[in-house]
Structure 1
Amino acid sequence: MAIAPSRQPDHPPEHEPEQIHAEADSSPRAHETLKHDDAFVVVDTHGDIGAFGNHGDGFFFNDTRYLSRLELLIARRPPLLLGSTLDRKDLQLCSDLTNTDVYSNGSLWLHKDVVHVFRTTYVRDASLRQRLVLTNHSNIDLYLPVSVFFDCDFLDIFEVRGMRREKRGTVHRAVDSSDSVSFSYTGLDRIVRKTSVHIDPEPQSLRETSAFFRLHIPAKQSRRIYVTALAEGDRLSPPCSYIKGLHDAYLRLRRSELQATSIEVSHPDLNHVLKRSMADLRLLITETADGPYPYAGTPWYSTTFGRDALITALQVLWLDPSIARGVLRRLARFQASEHDAAADAQPGKILHEMRNGEMAALREIPFGLYYGSVDSTPLFVVLAGAYVAATDDKDFLREIWPAILRALEWINGPGDPDGDGFVEYARETEDGLSNQGWKDSHDSIFNKDGSLAEGPLALVEVQGYVYEAKIVAARMASMLGDDVLSRRLKAEAVDLQRKFEEKFWSPDIGMYALALDGRKNRVDVRSSNAGHVLSSGIASSDRASRVIKQMLDATFFSGWGIRTIATTEARYNPMSYHNGSIWPHDNAMIGAGFARYGKSEQLESVFNGLLDAALNMSQARLPELFCGFRRRAGRAPILYPVACSPQAWASGSMPYLLGSLLGIEIDGASRTVTLNSPHLPERAGEITVRNMRAGEGAADFVLRRENGAVKIDITKCSGGAKVVLA
């Protein structure tokens, strides 16, 4: 055990550093992400930003980096990491650090492991908050040099990702007071963006990019330092204390948890994964003017995305319908109203992506309001139908009905330009996405020989979404008394189903083709896209069974999950983004289709694979995707290096699969929760569900296995709710 010297040498190693950078660290640091609404931080496990050349770190707000460096040095040296923990609610990163050996004038001035630093970090109300608790564990008083470095470059998030710009605006730095520094950036878009950094207590000296302390820490005592970075901050001090801000964050989270359905599983592994999934989802929820909205993922997709949010809201509809309401209202507000080729927009089309940074404002990228997704529009209608069925919220249906009608008009109009009944896409701008389904990388839609398919392209899964959209829209039209529209939509759905079976089934590959190309030829590639078809119900029972069988053979199922394409395909690469990797949300969509066709036992294999994958990953968190290598005994899944984690639709995947296994169907009008042929996974044990809502009613119940059958104990019903085991 290291012990401090009986007295310190008279001269510490540094009184006040001159822009010292930490000495090189031979090992890379792991990172965590914290978020609140439109602000998030990518911080390493020490609590630093931008240390050792980590150029992707930062404190971000509205697609701009408002802090590019935040680095702690003790006696000119980076502290050693003892350990770090992200709390179970994803609100706070806790880092335990200690000092290294420190020499001065050839003498040991401070033994290592004498000073413990407990460094905590959270994000709240467009501010980054840190608390440093430095404890002297020696038996002598210390006069400890402590430096905090900070800086801001105001890079657009696309610059942080690697895009180059010929010109940028100007950054200004100023010391405002003895404890406050400000940064401002005058952008080419003529917007002035500001960051203010506050230090408490007042440091011994403060410069534009550093604060220096010589802390007197008596033996066995502690001292605290607080650092706050405010985005768009003109305030002379933080809006509230560190403790109050954190307390308010926990209270808000607790209120949102109480409003939602809760699940408790007796098996600790599954319970841990489900709790992490819901904590990650809560982290990604942003309170917008339209209600709660799940941003797609951090760090690169922490903004409004259409497809991602629609699928996420579908995944957790049975747990929290308020998310679906927020998503629908926001996307209805930003629905395209006119044709804009530069944004791939047509009237009625639902948003793909929204960006708020300088590059979007200047149209250096097309994603300010960008509509280049072919599936967001039918999925908008699908989610609306599911939400209304579960809640019986007719007032909200009337509110968004005009947007639903415009979406249906797009489906039958610009979405089907040649009028053959299939929705297809072709980008209108070279700056837009070349592929506009969920597999939107440039090489994800290819022919059997590996050549890229030429469009316009009609994706297989999109036709399923359109079919389901027309079925649920017919039901909603009937609810509103428009029986003529209801009958027309039903007829269109029947006609689409017939054409789909004729055109998309490929005898050559024994499943539905990936797409139809611009010449209406089948793109005969075995893909997970065909699995999405099942969740819509468009597939015939016989062909659905054949698809399910293939999805579970060794060419698709790795042992951890279903790959995006089969290993036999020309562009298969387990390390690719879309051509052989494993995406949790993809598996969850496919799994919901398994359940729809009564294949719950087969679904359990997918469920167990993803559960095992999560348990082998940091924080038991499923990332955006991971590599599609075959599962081997004693080895964890291989990570995809730049996958977003957490990612909203990955977070919703395990709850969605569990709901599919349990056969949950919610009828808000009759306030009935039905469990259709529920399949309780062996690795679940007993499941306790509280506050499951059906319309104005709510129910608590417990599911368990008994003599090979699923039994239910209904413990509470209110508001006329009923729970039925069918």
Structure 2
Amino acid sequence: MTPAGPHVQLVRDATFARLDTTGGITGVRGTAPDGVFARDGRHLSRWQLTVDGSHPAVLVPASREDDHTTSCVLTPQGTRDAPPAYTVFRQQSVSAGEFTEHLRLVSNRPDAVTARLELTVDCDFADLFELRADDREYPKPDGRREVRTAPEGLVYDYRRADWHAGTTLTCHPAPDGIATPDSSTTARTLTWELDLAEHGEAELHLTVRTDPSPPASTPAARRTAPEVTDDLARACERGLADLDLLTIAVEGVDGEQVRVPAAGIPWFLTLFGRDSLLTSYFLLPYRPGTAAATLSALAATQGTRYDDFSGEQPGRIVHETRQGELAHFRQVPYGRYYGAVDATPLFLVLLHAHHETTGDPALAARLEQHARRAVDWMLTDGGLGEHGYLVYSPDLNGLVNQNWKDSAGAICFTGGTQAKGPIAVCEAQGYAYDALVRTAELSEKVWGDQEYAGQLRTLASDLRQRFADDFWMPGPGFPALAQDGDGRQVDALASDAGHLLWSGILDDDRARRVGRRLLEPDFFSGWAIRTLAAGQRPYHPLSYHRGSAWPHDNAVIALGLARHGLHAELRTVAKALTAAAAHHGHRLPEVLAGYARTTTPTPVPYPHSCSPQAWAAATPLALRTALRGVA
């Protein structure tokens, strides 16, 4: 096998590939699996080239020509006295449901030579959830993989009850031979003997097609880049390009096809409620059509019944959707999974914000009943009526925490103990307040229902006062991260408090105190605001949510700083994030480690960060919006 090493990632039109620096795929699993992926499944798990009987030498390792194409330069093994007889120029790319490869062999000798190429191929059709390093196993006793030879290549087939997936490899020219290596059941080695005239050339074209492929759709339009004037503009340009790459086609509320931002790759190339909503909000002044598409898609998947396995409840907005085998057979709850406490109020926030930004009432009118059902969910199953707050209880089949910090242990006391449910996280209460206020305005101005508007404003006012009484911690002068099921304040100092500035649930005095506190050294690393202030027992700079720093989290905080006139603090955060982006080719990763800038000359990325990732890609646009009018 080719030794493990750096990898190259390609993405376009809901299809992505992860390759090693020779262009190969070894079938690894764990935190960063390689392969070719479409619709939550791996359609190519082995793709290993040998030349003249050995692994090729690498003259130029694989690097991206653009976001969906890579190339490298290889040769047979050689020495100074016996240099390689030919050179292999390898180019690979992905498009909607396809992976293609072009090999051009160029002879380096003045006489004829025959090049022997062997390509070992396999398709394991693994679901993305099987590839995670979480020690879970998913039995598939009736799953059957088969491979058959076709005139121009191979056809792989996987069936399990009513589930079907396929991968077809087409080769031009056709292989000279096909063999079974290593006693494998479905791996096949294809062989070509390619004749090269003196200083001549030969070519080999390979096309891998996935079935079922992503839904047929027009590729996302590639926008003309704005004029680049500074690092923030470059980050915005990179972010918009990444969002084009992450755009996928899904069904809207009336059956129409809409294009929405998927959350990120490799794990989340699918519709996510919270992620898509915040991404669309960040983009709203620049691409309002994205918000309209996201709202339509989420209205189409809004809960209509009770299902304990998936968390579906009437009116609830979906957390994520999946199209893979394990979701199909309900071995994981994520086909349509509703385990999010915050997606529903954020849906209402974005619906009003779209109307406010565009001045067009049509979408708000079209989705009136969906909005009313979302409010009903907040007041009933969401917990506002019974508990006074939006709450969730840990889901043993899905997510322990159902806010944006959804990793186990993220909602913790200063001693590090995870809070127990029903849990009311602070930022969700801010979203709920904002949703009620905004929906009241829609009810008054678009739906013509003054009575309903008054009811919502009363609910919002009561929530705001209750929150001030229950969540504010007088000692540190800071909001609690959450309330647990016993009504205790979950007292870890966390960045979630910054979201309260954006939502407006805090009065101006407390909001300004919180905003300034977030810029103190235990919170602010110099690159970004940490998710958890350093110095607390559960702080860990390489954790997912207990000391790392998330660009989108900082973007929400930046919008809140702007709302409360904290311009110096806003400029500090924006400048730091822009500098961090510049160190990563102007692309912000999903997560940064929490190490202080004084100790690291470059920002340290979180080791399992998605890249590109939608709300990180949209963060520079949110910063640009926040900075408008700031001297």
Matched with 2:150 is: 176
Partner of 1:276: 238
The residue aligned with 2:277 is 310
AA at the equivalent of 2:123: C
Which position in structure 2 is the counterpart of 1:713? none
Q: 1:585 Cα deviation (Å)?
A: 0.7
Q: Give the SS at the match of 1:659.
A: helix
Contact 2:52 2:76 in 1 (8 A): no
1:285–1:295: 8 Å Cα contact kept in structure 2? yes
Structure 2 Cα separation of the partners of residues 133 and 540 of structure 1? 66
The one of 581, 584, 590 equivalent to 2:557 is: 590
2:523 partner SS: coil
The one-letter amino acid paired with 2:97 is A
Mean Cα displacement is larger for which, 356-365 or 203-212?
203-212
Alignment deviations for residues 225-244 of structure 1 (CA, whole Å, 9 cap, x no partner): 2111111179xxxxxxxxxx
* Corresponding position of 1:85: 63
Counterparts in 2 of 1:79-118, with a 5 A limit? 79=56, 80-88=58-66, 90-92=67-69, 94-102=70-78, 111-112=83-84, 115-118=86-89
- Given that residues 27 and 35 in structure 2 are in contact (C-alpha distance below 8 angstroms), is that contact kept between their aligned partners in structure 1? no
In structure 2, the partner of 1:48 is 24
Alignment of 1:279-428 (within 5 A): 279-290=241-252, 291-416=258-383, 419-427=386-394
Equivalent residues in 2 for 1:596-607 (5 A)? 596-607=563-574
1:164 partner letter: E
SS of residue paired to 2:537: coil
Match of 1:444 among 410, 413, 416: 410
- Bigger shift: 569-578 or 48-57? 48-57
Asked whether the 8 Å contact 1:298–1:646 carries over to 2, the reply is: yes
Task: Give the aligned partner of residue 16 of structure 1.
Answer: none
User: Is contact 2:5-2:20 (8 Å) kept?
Assistant: no
Among candidates 508, 511, 524, match of residue 475 of structure 2: 508
- CA gap of 1:138–1:655, structure 2 versus 1, over 3 A, is farther
Aligned residue number for residue 118 of structure 2: 147
Deviation for aligned residue 1:534: 0.7
> Whose Rg is larger?
1
Is the 2:319–2:343 contact (alpha carbons within 8 Å) kept by the matching residues of 1?
A: yes
Structure 2 CA distance for partners of 1:301 and 1:73, relative to 1, 3 Å: same
8 Å Cα contact 1:51/1:71 also seen in 2? no
Matched, 1:191 2:168: no
2:137 to 164, 170, 179: 164
CA distance in 2, matches of 1:115, 1:635: 43
CA distance in 2 between partners of 1:430 and 1:335 (Å):
22
Distance 1:407 1:68 in 2: 42
Match of 1:671 in 2: none
**Aligned twin of 2:41:** 64
Question: Whole-Å Cα distance in 2 between the matches of residues 295 and 648 of structure 1?
Answer: 7
Q: Report how far residue 100 of structure 1 moved.
A: 4.3
Change beyond 3 A, Cα 1:552–1:138? farther
Q: Which amino acid aligns with 1:173?
A: V
Pick from 610, 615, 621: which aligns with 1:649?
615
> How far apart in 1 are the matches of 2:589 and 2:474?
35
| Amino acid paired to 1:35 | R
- Relative to structure 1, the CA distance from residue 367 to residue 314 in structure 2 (aligned partners, 3 Å threshold; closer, same or farther) is same
Identity %: 34
Evaluate the alpha carbon distance shift between residue 46 and residue 641 of structure 1 in structure 2; reply closer, same or farther with a 3 A threshold: same
* CA distance in structure 2 between the aligned counterparts of 1:483 and 1:120, rounded to whole angstroms: 62
Matches within 5 A, 1:697-716: none
Pair 1:474 & 2:449 matched: no
The answer (yes or no) to whether the contact 1:508–1:524 under 8 Å persists in 2 is no
Gap change, CA 1:660 and 1:225, over 3 Å in 2: same
Residue 263 of structure 1, aligned match among 213, 226, 230: 226
Separation of aligned partners in 2, 1:133 and 1:654: 40
Closer, same or farther: CA 584–219 of 1 in aligned 2, 3 Å? farther
For residues 273 and 46 of structure 1, do their structure 2 counterparts lie closer, same or farther at Cα, with a shift above 3 Å needed? farther
Q: Quote the Cα distance in structure 2 between the aligned partners of 1:59 and 1:495.
A: 52
Q: Deviations over 1:628-666 (max 9, x none)?
A: 01113663222222111111111111111111111xxxx
Of 443, 451, 457, the match for 1:484 = 451
Conserved 8 A contact 1:381-1:469: yes
Q: Secondary structure at the match of 2:206?
A: strand
- Equivalent residue, structure 1, for 2:529: 562
Q: Tell me the matched-pair count.
A: 611
Q: 2-side partners of 1:417 and 1:463: how far apart?
A: 9
2:114 partner SS: strand
Contact 2:341 2:403 in 1 (8 A): yes
Q: Which residue of 2 aligns with 1:210?
A: 189
Superposition RMSD in Å: 2.4
Where in structure 1 are there 5+ consecutive unaligned residues? 1-21, 235-244, 663-676, 680-726
Deviation at 1:412, TM superposition (A): 1.2
Residue aligning to 1:695: none
TM-score normalised to structure 2 length: 0.92
- 1: CA distance, partners of 2:90 / 2:37: 20
Per-residue CA deviation, residues 382-435 of structure 1 (Å, 9 max, x unaligned), is 1111111122332222221111110001111111165343111114x5212111
The residue aligned with 1:228 is 207
Q: Is the 8 A contact 2:232 2:620 kept in 1?
A: no
Contact kept in structure 1, 2:262 and 2:270, CA below 8 Å:
yes
